[in-house]
Structure formats: C-alpha cells, structure tokens
C-alpha cells in the first residue's frame, strides 16, 4: 500500500515536470513555433477551447505563424484571444488567415518572457507540492484505518518529501536553463 502511494506520487510529479517542459518549449526566443498558441483559449459557442481546436495553426515562415479559423465568424474572436494572451503578440487579419508575426526580442520582451517562465515554474512547484500533500493524506488514512503503523507512515512521508525536494530542484534547474536561453542575445 505505502509503495503504491509513493509510486503514484512520483508518477504524478514526473507528469508535472513533463507539463512544465512542454510549456517552456512553447516560450520561444524570437522564432515562430506552432505550439506557441496551444494554451491560448478562445470562446467558442459558450465554452473556452484552445485556438488549435477552432483553427488550423501552422508556420508561414521562420518568424510568422498563420492561423486559419475553420469558421469565418471566429476570425475576430481568435485574433482578440491571441492579442489578449500573455505572449505579447500582435496578430493581423489578411483575408481568411490571421498572420501572427513574432516580434524581435528586445531587452524588455526578454524580461517579460522571463517572468512568464518563472510563473510557469511556480505553477509546476505548486502542482508537485499538491501531490506531496495528497500522498501524505493517503498515508495518514492508512494509519487511521490501521493498515500501516505510524513509524511506516513517518518513513514514507520522509521519502515523499525527498521526492518533492528532488522534483522541485529539477524544476529550478529547468527554469535556470530557460532563463539563460532567453537572456542570451
């Protein structure tokens, strides 16, 4: 039982790390990347969905993303969602295609992206800590149900804390690498 709880916690922490890795990959240093718009949400018939669910997103060239909504009436909504996102992009409609040019990275823009990276990292750390809390709650329940001793619970909680520390350190390392990459001219 205790081993299952620890394995489950580690698996979920690993998934949080993978999610952070995917989010950081979307934060680009001046180059266009179709995945950049994956987390931009647009209102579609009353519910919020990702832009890539209502439009075809692809690269026009190395510095431009082309977005072609499946429905004409979504043009304005998609363009507004991209403009209002925290990515600092300025889309322009050209016929039935929305062109999203990637701005040159100024010092100010690099600092903004660094803040976005830190926010993503903090969210990953919170997710990892939540998994620690869930694992500890499950361990306490085992003791309460008399399926494990308090000593076993204490050892397992120490193991879960070590796992948490390891994954939080991994998040910090990933953030440091991404910040260095962003600040390099």
What pLDDT is attached to residue 107? 84
CA atoms of 133 and 22, how far apart (whole Å) = 24
Give yes or no: residues 63 and 80 share one domain.
yes
Model pTM score? 0.67
Tell me the per-residue pLDDT of 133-160, one tens digit each, with 9 for 90 and over. 999 999 999 999 998 899 999 999 999 9
pLDDT at residue number 118: 93
pLDDT the model gives residue 16: 94
Task: Please give the pLDDT value at position 183.
Answer: 82
Count how many domains the chain has. 2
Domain span holding position 85:
31-101
The domain that holds 84 is classified in CATH as: 3.30.1360.40
Domain termination residue (choose one: 68, 101, 134): 101
Q: Calculate the alpha carbon distances from 103 to 33, 62, 97, 125, 162 in Å.
A: 13, 12, 18, 30, 42
Same domain, 112 and 176: yes
Domain boundary residue, one of 101, 136, 163: 101
Same domain, yes or no, for 112 and 97?
A: no
CA dihedral of 41, 172, 116, 23, whole degrees rounded to 10 = -30
CB 59 within 8 A of CB 73: no
The total of other beta-carbon atoms located within 10 Å of residue 87's CB is 21
CATH of the domain at 138: 1.10.132.20
Say how far apart CA 85 and CA 43 lie, in whole Å: 13
Does one domain contain both 92 and 111?
no
In the listed set 52, 67, 101, which residue is the last one of a domain according to the structure? 101
Q: What residues in the chain have per-residue pLDDT under 50?
A: none
């Amino acid at each position: 039982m205790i081993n299952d709880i620890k394995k489950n916690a580690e698996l979920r922490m690993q998934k949080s790390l993978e999610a952070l890795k995917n989010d950081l990959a979307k934060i680009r240093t001046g180059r266009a990347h179709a995945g950049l718009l994956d987390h931009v949400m647009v209102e579609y018939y009353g519910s919020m969905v990702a832009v890539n669910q209502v439009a075809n997103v692809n690269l026009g060239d190395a510095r431009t993303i082309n977005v072609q909504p499946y429905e004409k009436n979504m043009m304005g909504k998609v363009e507004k969602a991209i403009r209002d996102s925290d990515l600092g992009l300025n889309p322009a409609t050209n016929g039935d295609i929305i062109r999203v040019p990637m701005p040159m990275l100024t010092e100010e823009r690099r600092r903004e992206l660094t803040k976005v990276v830190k926010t993503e990292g903090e969210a990953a750390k919170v997710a990892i800590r939540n998994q620690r809390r869930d694992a500890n709650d499950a361990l306490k329940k085992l003791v309460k149900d008399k399926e494990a001793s308090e000593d076993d619970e204490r050892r397992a909680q120490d193991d879960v804390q070590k796992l948490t520390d390891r994954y939080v350190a991994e998040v910090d390392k990933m953030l440091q690498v991404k910040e260095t990459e962003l600040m390099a001219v």
